[in-house]
Amino acid sequence: MQLLHVLAADPLFNDGVDLGVVLIVALKTLITFAVLMVAVLFMIWYERKLISDMQNRIGPAKAGGRFGVLQSLADGIKLFFKEDLLPERADKRVYRLAPYLSAVPAFLSFAVVPVGGTITIASHETNLQLADPPVGILFLLAMSGISVYGVMLAGWSSGSKYPLLGSVRASAQMVSYEAALGLSIATVVVVAGTLSTHGIAFDQSGAGPGGFLPAWNIIRLGVVPFVIFMIAATAELNRPPFDLVEAEQELVGGFHTEYSSIRFALFFLAEFMNTVTMSAIIVTLFLGGPSGPLLGVLPDWLWPIIWFVLKLMVFLSVYVWFRATLPRLRYDQLMDLGWKVLIPLSLFWLLVIAAVRVESWYAAVAIPVGLAIAFLLSRAMQVGRARVEEKVGQ
């Protein structure tokens, strides 16, 4: 009982666990899954329609019934009834497991995102959040690490060279940007003083600098960790301009070339589910989560949900904007950005934030020391890369 209370810091468990608590948890799980699936369907439709409008194409702007809503339904029916192929040289067990390793972590990550305040259900008070473990940030990083295995194993188990190349790219790309992602999250943890996602969102409520700005981490941390996290998260999601693991010009379809039917649909679903989940995480870490003013008219418990959805829509629109406008990077540009720019910059900013947090005058020492470390790290990576290229050339 005590272990359960520690793993899920929700007021629902304050008085122990009974049948009512179990039913409420089951209800929250079903609602979370349903909301996330509806959000994914909306994101697919929204991305197609917005891009078609941006690029002045017909697409869902005209086709697919009213507003193009039937196009996603047609895709789902087509994928459901297509033949499920199994390559002759594939590792059958791993080949079947890989799509689930991509889709399941996206749902588990969304489970620790607070989407609202506190409500009362059948005399039980609970957060509008499926689970609030005290190590929620570490849980998010773990799920981010697991999701790459789906891509890697899908390419390796297919028994084909093009998917294998896609999975090799994925492993290098994920490792490169995971470090910058973790360092940018560390700055948030230093300021908030907690690993709980609910605690981080709650820490950003109220007034911030000057008494009129919000206390969001994007302001308190000086914008830089937010920009680093946004770029690294885009690379983690394999979305444009970092979608090199499925670059059709040289890899056909990348890691999922040999997949069809429902198994391909799971990869397709995982990409958009991860986009929704990562946008929700960005809102939680840097934009105060569901925090916002209570404007009356509507019930107080509803306003946090509205603010969260509005903030979420901003980042979903940004990801669509990226896909519609940015050209794909070369692979060497991708790796250089991760190792030579983002990692040194995120490490430097972490040192500065930590110094300011301990004692403001420490920043006078931390800034030059951090710049020196960042420069030496970047220089060492450049030298290492040059030596590797020299060896390969020989």
Q: Which domain holds residue 377?
A: 343-394
Is 32 inside any structural domain? yes
Rounded Cα gap, residues 147 and 283, in angstroms: 21
pLDDT of residue 370: 63
**Contact indicator for 254, 162 with CB cutoff of 8 Å:** yes
Does residue 214 sit in helix, strand or coil? strand
Where a domain ends, among 327, 351, 375?
Answer: 327
For 331, how many CA atoms within 13 A lie in the half-sphere containing its CB? 16
Pairing assessment for the beta strands 118-121 and 124-127 based on DSSP bridges:
antiparallel
For residues 275 and 364, membership in a common domain is answered with no
Is 262 inside any structural domain? yes
pLDDT of residue 2: 36
Name the most confidently modeled range: 73-77, 93-97, 282-286.
Answer: 282-286
pLDDT of residue 282: 94
Residue 192 CA, distance from chain mean position? 20
For residues 243 and 390, membership in a common domain is answered with no
SS3 content of the chain, % helix, strand, coil (to 5): 75, 5, 25
For residues 317 and 352, membership in a common domain is answered with no
118-167 pLDDT, tens digit each: 888 877 888 888 888 888 899 998 888 888 888 888 888 888 888 888 78
Confidence band, pLDDT 50/70/90 cuts, at residue 393: low
309-319 pLDDT, tens digit each: 999 999 999 99
Secondary structure element (H or E) that encloses residue 119, with its range: strand 118-121
For residues 350 and 309, membership in a common domain is answered with no
Is 101 inside any structural domain? yes
Where a domain ends, among 302, 327, 352?
Answer: 327
Rounded Cα gap, residues 69 and 48, in angstroms: 10
Question: Mean per-residue pLDDT for 372-380?
Answer: 67
For residues 105 and 136, membership in a common domain is answered with yes
Rounded Cα gap, residues 41 and 69, in angstroms: 9
For residues 255 and 194, membership in a common domain is answered with yes
Structure tokens at 64: 């697919």
Name the most confidently modeled range: 36-45, 309-318, 383-392.
Answer: 309-318
For residues 280 and 358, membership in a common domain is answered with no
Is 195 inside any structural domain? yes
Does residue 127 sit in helix, strand or coil? strand
For residues 148 and 195, membership in a common domain is answered with yes
Question: Mean per-residue pLDDT for 353-359?
Answer: 78
The answer to whether residue 337 scores a pLDDT higher than 60 is yes
The answer to whether residue 9 scores a pLDDT higher than 70 is no
Is 192 inside any structural domain? yes
For residues 238 and 364, membership in a common domain is answered with no
pLDDT of residue 61: 55
Tally of structural domains, the chain: 2
pLDDT of residue 359: 66
Rounded Cα gap, residues 112 and 384, in angstroms: 39
60-91 burial code (b ≥16 CB/10 A, e <16):
bbeebeeebeebbeeeeeebeeeeeeebeebe
For residues 294 and 193, membership in a common domain is answered with yes
Is 72 inside any structural domain? yes
The answer to whether residue 208 scores a pLDDT higher than 80 is no
For residues 306 and 356, membership in a common domain is answered with no
Backbone angles phi, psi at 120, to 5 degrees: -115, 125
For residues 365 and 277, membership in a common domain is answered with no
Confidence band, pLDDT 50/70/90 cuts, at residue 17: confident
**Contact indicator for 361, 251 with CB cutoff of 8 Å:** no
Q: Quick one: which of 311, 268, 231 has its CA closest to 99?
A: 268
Is 297 inside any structural domain? yes
Which of 15 and 389 is assigned the larger pLDDT?
A: 15
The answer to whether residue 296 scores a pLDDT higher than 50 is yes
Is 20 inside any structural domain? yes
Structure tokens at 129: 């959040």
Rounded Cα gap, residues 279 and 135, in angstroms: 20
